Chain A
Amino acid sequence: MIQRFIEVGEWVFLLYFIGLNCGYLALNFLSLISLSKLMRIRMVDELPQVYSGLTPPISLLVPAYNEQASIASSVHSMLQLSYQEFEIVVINDGSKDDTLKVLEREFALIPFPEAYRQRLKTQPVRGIYRSTLYNNLRVIDKENGGKADSLNAGINTARYPLFCGVDADSILQRDSLQRMAQPFLEDTRVVAAGGSIRIANGCQVSNGFLQKVDLPKKILPLLQIVEYLRAFLFGRMGWSPLNAMLIISGAFGLFKKEAVIEAGGYRTGTIGEDMELVVRIHRLYRRAKKPYRIVFVPDPICWTEAPEDLATLKNQRIRWQRGLLESLSLNLGLLCHYRGGAAGWLAFPFMLLFEALGPIIELAGYLFMFALFLSGMISSQALWVFLFVAIGFGILLSVSSLLLEEITFHIYPRPRHLLLLLLIVLLENFGYRQINSWWRFIGIVRWLRGGQAKWGDMKRSGAWQQPR
């Protein structure tokens, strides 16, 4: 009886690991096709273009909470973006530090008597300011309500039909808005576009723009570079052609304002407000049988600082896991809904089984096999084979994301970059991925226990930034 139980358990865990990785490999294959198509037209895309003046203007919404150290340089760099017409709305979410004072001083803010229209309910707005130096910069000062609440306040004041939520610490490429707006021009059904996020640690940033790409010296950000490649180059790019992408990173995403307002705006009180909104849009549009597209722009257009210490990284991963579970649980109606399409029938179950519940099964698998080995119920050979499969597939996935990077953007140009990344691809499977699963498991436990969502405390070194 016990032997039978062990055998079934072994098969379950083995097939789960193989199923998970084959799912990712399938996504990888889809990404490979989409990226290859994209790269074919890049050469012509880079020739000088003529602009007719029909590009839609964009409102950049920058929620800021205790960002006194970086907010000025972030806004300065955003002001230099190359796009025909855009405005920047910084939303100070009741910061306890001098975020507002820094903005007042740096951009010569004066009170602006805006006829504020509350289309989405938010915490009270204390004041609206405009810059006397830059016509297209406004600042909203409001009571603390979280990132989602800040974005909703930003949407309320946004003047333009498209808005782009940007993290205050994001470094944008100068042409990022042009690239992100492209899908909206090409297809009127597009309601949201997500951008590819890369890690800025180790890079040289000056005047708010990326000057030189390099790899970080520290191991943790290096490990995250490979993770980001996996997450964006096939985690998102694979789902995009199926119109089943469930996540748009809060660090940089472009949305049709009316579509978001119609969906009820960002949900406050959640941690993963960015993902929750996207899953909700899928659910509502699918149910209403309205044509829509949510797309991914793979070009590396937004750079962000990754945590460099374990405590911050742990908090981030716990938060992400909670956000994922919240987003899925709040939109369970999409799961296998008869009108759910690829989002409801493929992406949602995939996320639920492999991303949301994955850490439980993965950890249980490891524990199960080690327990059996320690109690002498399986041989050391069997344990080694189990680890060989789990780690072997992990390495395969990471290497395949590196291949996508090599086929497309060549962000890391030097041979030593490639060698180091190959080394990291191997290393991350020995400990880092397992500890990540443990943190994500904690995230699941905390989600089950409930609790108030807060702005994540992110310790930033900012060592890669040069002063203006």
Chain B
Amino acid sequence: MRSGLDFAVNSEPILRFAFWSGFGAMALTLLLIVWIVALRVIYRRSERRKRKFLSIWRGLLTESALTHLDTRRLPAIAGKDVVFFLSYWNHLQDSLRGEARGRLNFLVRSIGIDRAVRRMLREGNPAEKLLAIVSLGHLGEKADTEALEGLLVSEHPIACLHAARALLHIDPGTLGELMPTIVQRSDLPITAIANVLKEAGSNTVSPILAGMLRQAFLQGATPQHLVRLIALTVVAHPSVVHASLREIMDQTEDTEVLAACLKAMRDPCDLPRVRQLIGHPDWRVRVHAAAALGDMGEEKDLESLIRLLSDSQWWVRYRAAQAISRLPFVTAGGLEGIKKHLDDHFAIDMLNQVISERRS
């Protein structure tokens, strides 16, 4: 031992440096091993505790969704178990509808968990805060609106999205105020915004979105912003938003905006607009015009679609062939007939492909 220590202190500099580096690495390794074992022990304890808690509360929570329980006879919930309780409670809230949700809320208020939720929102770690946001949305109390609205401008996009969802749960009427805020945030994925709006319901979303579309266009919003707004029409009533889309379509020259509008429009009264764009110089517009004609085209559109079968772009040819095969008046025999009259081999190949797809 003594000679080992002498070596570590009195040998050449390189050996001393090497020895202490290795020693440091080994010491750190031991520390990490202790950390790993401790984490495993904590994890297993937590899992055991969760299992035990849920073995009691899963049944009670399910029962409380069906009937008002006498809360005086319910077991107490320890502070450590609140997260387990809320995770399962939120899960049930998301899976159930109607009065069952109200009964679950009654339970939470009766046993005082709502106070714990608000404390978690103020003082919890990020995971607890997210859980609290979701829980407050389900609880649906207007008193929590202010705290949640503050989170709409949160740096964390996920907190913002969950806050928006919670606010809509509390009062769907707030959509008009919160929608511009969340749509404006470019760090929020449009899919996630659409998911939130879908929950609010198309009746609520449609008039607000129509107004936002018109306003954004008139105020000269960027094409990217317009495309984002137009993409959201997937969760709106077409009849409500189409007027705004028409206004944009009639005046914009931006190809991405035009393509987005065409993708969203399926009202037969827009046929003249779609027909005008079937020969657009940009293929991204032509491809959506072809697809739109497939959904609402008439017999006189067949000729334009057949012309598109010889387009220079593969996708335009493909969408045109699909559109032809979707037209209600074109039968399988009709497709074969069209093929016979084609002399462009690109067009024939594409029609062959779509005929084969149609058979599957």
Binding site for B on A (CB under 8 A): 7, 10-11, 14, 18, 21, 39-44, 47-55, 112-115, 117, 130, 132, 135, 185-187, 381-382, 385-386, 388-389, 392-393, 395-396, 399-400, 402-403, 406-407, 410, 415, 418, 422
Contacts and interface: CB of A to CB of B under 8 A. Distances in A.
Given A115-B352, A385-B15, A43 B314 contact: no
Interface residues of B, number: 63
Given A55-B191, A135-B360, A395-B29, 13 more contacts: A40-B130, A44-B134, A48-B94, A50-B199, A52-B198, A385-B19, A389-B19, A392-B26, A395-B26, A396-B25, A396-B26, A396-B28, A418-B40
B176 to A, nearest CB: 19
A48 B95 contact: yes
Nearest to A112: B356
Nearest to A15: B17
Interface of B: 7, 11, 14-15, 17-19, 21-23, 25-26, 28-29, 32-33, 35-37, 39-40, 43-44, 83, 87, 90-91, 94-95, 125-127, 130-131, 134, 157-158, 162, 189-192, 194-199, 231, 234-235, 314, 317-318, 346, 349-350, 352-353, 355-357, 360
Contact of B130 (A43, A55, A388): A43
Given A185-B191, A396-B25, A389 B18 contact: yes
Interface on chain A toward B: helix, strand, loop, or mixed SS?
helix
Nearest to B42: A406
Secondary structure type dominating chain B contacts: helix
Given A50-B198, A407-B39, A114 B314 contact: no
Contacts of A185: 189-192
Contact of B94 (A47, A113, A396): A47
Contact of B18 (A14, A21, A43, A113): A14
Of the candidates A47, A55, A388, A393, the one having the most CB atoms from chain B within 10 angstroms of its own CB is: A47
A21 B25 contact: yes
Contacts, number: 149
A185 B195 CA distance: 12
Contacts of B162: 44
Contacts of B32: 396, 399-400, 402-403
Contacts of B7: 381
A112 B40 contact: no
Contacts of B91: 47-48
A388 B356 contact: no
Given A48-B91, A115-B346, A10 B191 contact: no
Given A41-B130, A403-B35, A389 B190 contact: no
17 contacts: A21-B25, A44-B127, A44-B158, A47-B90, A47-B134, A50-B196, A50-B198, A52-B197, A54-B191, A385-B19, A388-B18, A388-B19, A393-B25, A396-B26, A399-B29, A418-B36, A418-B40
Q: Which of A7, A44, A47, A396 has the most CB of B within 10 A?
A: A44
